A = this chain, B = another copy of it.
Amino acid sequence: MKKFLNSPQTLLEESFDGFVAARADIIVACEERKFLRRRTLKPGKVALISGGGSGHEPLHAGFVGHGMLDATCPGQIFTSPTPDQMFAAVEAVDQGEGVVLIVKNYEGDVMNFEMAAEMTDGRCATVITDDDVAVETSTNSTGRRGVAGTLIVEKIVGAAAEMGMKRSEPQALGQNANRRTRSMGVALTPCTLPAAGKPNFDLGDKEIEMGVGIHGEPGRRRVPMASAHAMVEEIVKAILDDLAPRRGDDALLFVNGFGGTPLIELYLLYYEAARMIEAAGIKPARSLVGSYVTSLDMAGASITLSMLDDSSAKLWDAPVHTPALRWGA
């Protein structure tokens, strides 16, 4: 294992503290690193909280700030945060207008966020993301997994809350955005958990895992290494088959790196994916390319297609000022 590391036991604290120090313009750390919150909370706004296991950076801490999350609770690597962390975050950022929790569909996360919601006497509404079309049920999830599309849901709900909508409305917009969003990924290599010190699954030198999850969960099939064109074709076909979009509609096309894949390759994937969705009659009216929802050092990428209407396009375009996404603010 070759990583920048002092010890697996201190990695999360040190990386957390480095993040907070580097982004003190936007972020404040709270109470023994239970959660991070936006430096300037906005009175009267519905609060928005997410969280999940660490190892997917910049998700979620990189999306805390104006127009997106008010707080996030980082768990141990690939491990849900605790209800105690979430409860502390709710107490800290609730402005009296209630809270929307955005939760990726993994059993641990869903259970713990549910417990936290129960502890807050009805102040929390939940949006669960399950955008991964690769498999129906997986190692850590009943039903589909929540993956890179979670970023889009966080942006849409965050913009709605920032505009002053009351709690049920951002929640409904988030659920709707999740329904209109589909993703699928492919791994060229496994990732290595620092505490384990070895790859979290085996993959041959000439094999890829098509439909891999963001914790290295098995995908649809293990196949021989293929051209970028062939891989994108399989992913885009899986997404379009499932989403069945209407020809002529606009979409956000998001190509996401898993942590070990450079930008030059991600733009090649965008090139392939954009041509294929255009050939299917869909216009890539918005785009996002980068490593935003990662799996530690995994080489690989996912493609997300999110269908837009006037309302969701406006919410996507709305100002955002976070460490990892910034425009118009």
- Write the residues of chain A forming the contact surface with B, with a CB cutoff of 8 angstroms: 2-7, 11, 14-19, 21-23, 54-55, 57-58, 62, 188-189, 205, 208, 225, 227-229, 231, 259-272, 274, 284, 287-289, 291, 294, 296-297, 299, 301, 326-327
Query: Hey, which chain B residues are within 8 Å of A5, CB to CB?
Result: 227-228, 265, 268
Give the residue of B229, B264, B294, B326 whose beta carbon is less than 8 angstroms from that of A263: B294
Q: Are B268 and A15 in contact (CB under 8 A)?
A: yes
The residue that A267 contacts in the complex, of B15, B188, B229, B299, with Cβ under 8 A, is B15
Residues of B within 8 A of A259 (CB): 262-263
Bound-state CA distance A33–B170 (Å) is 43
Q: Contacting A57 at CB < 8 Å: which of B15, B18, B264, B294? A: B264
Looking at the complex, which one of B3, B22, B265 makes contact with A287 (CB distance below 8 Å)?
Answer: B22
Residue pair A2, B188 in contact (C-beta under 8 Å): yes
Q: List 16 A-B contacts (CB under 8 A).
A: A2-B299, A4-B188, A4-B228, A4-B266, A5-B228, A6-B227, A6-B229, A7-B227, A18-B268, A18-B271, A22-B287, A62-B263, A260-B299, A261-B297, A265-B297, A326-B327
Measured CB to CB, the closest approach of chain B to A297, in angstroms, equals 5
Q: A260-B262, A263-B57, A263-B294 are in contact. Are A189 and B2 (CB under 8 A)?
A: yes
